[in-house]
Amino acid sequence: MTAPRDYDAIADMQRDNETLRARVRELERDLEKRGSRCERCKGTARLLYGNTSTWRHSMGGASITEGICEACWGTGRSDITGPDLRAIDAHEAQLEREVSERWLAWRLGASFSSVRPHLATIAARIKHKRADDFWLQRCTETVRSVLEHLSKEPEKGSGT
């Protein structure tokens, strides 16, 4: 036999159930207003990447790392993307290269025609140098390519 307080409990549960259903409908309407969700991250705006470099896809530590979704760039939506961090990163690296090169040109006096041939000579001398160390080799190649670039007659209006 059902006691009166059981009826009260059932009525309470029915009210709670209706409240929850209303809340689900409200959340579904909010989601619809936000647009379609990003297929890549399923709307979470985050992804698990294979190494610690995450969206950079460069060398990184060997551990699965969570990072911002590279498809929607943090919005979780397919129709609106956040700022493209990879493009910002590339632009920043480009600016850094340009500033460094200008500083080096200034320090070497690369604007003087008497200096330019020496830069080309140094570049030619280190062109075939091989280093045992990967980073030393990479640095040597970078210096050589910058020296070669600076040894050339600047184009009008290029600033270097």
Q: Report if residue 150 touches Zn ion, rule: CB under 5 A.
A: no
Q: Which is nearer to Zn ion, 14 or 44 (CB)?
A: 44
Q: Taking a C-beta distance cutoff of 8 angstroms, is the pair 58, 89 a contact? A: no
Q: Which is nearer to Zn ion, 76 or 144 (CB)?
A: 76
Q: Which is nearer to Zn ion, 38 or 146 (CB)?
A: 38
User: Least separation, in Å, of the C-beta of 64 and Zn ion?
Assistant: 17
76-135 positions binding Zn ion, by CB under 5 A: none
Which two structure tokens, joined as six digits, stand for 101?
A: 């090169």
Q: Which among 100, 90, 91 is positioned nearest to 150, based on CA atoms? A: 100
Q: Which is nearer to Zn ion, 52 or 81 (CB)?
A: 81
Q: Distance (Å, rounded) from C-alpha 77 to C-alpha 42?
A: 8
Residues 27-56 as b or e (16 or more Cβ within 10 Å = b): eeeeeeeeeebbeebebebebebeeeebbb
Point out which span in 68-76, 94-102, 120-128, 137-145 binds Zn ion (CB under 5 A). 68-76
Q: Report if residue 68 touches Zn ion, rule: CB under 5 A.
A: no
| Residues of this chain that bind Zn ion (CB under 5 A) | 38, 40-41, 69, 71-72
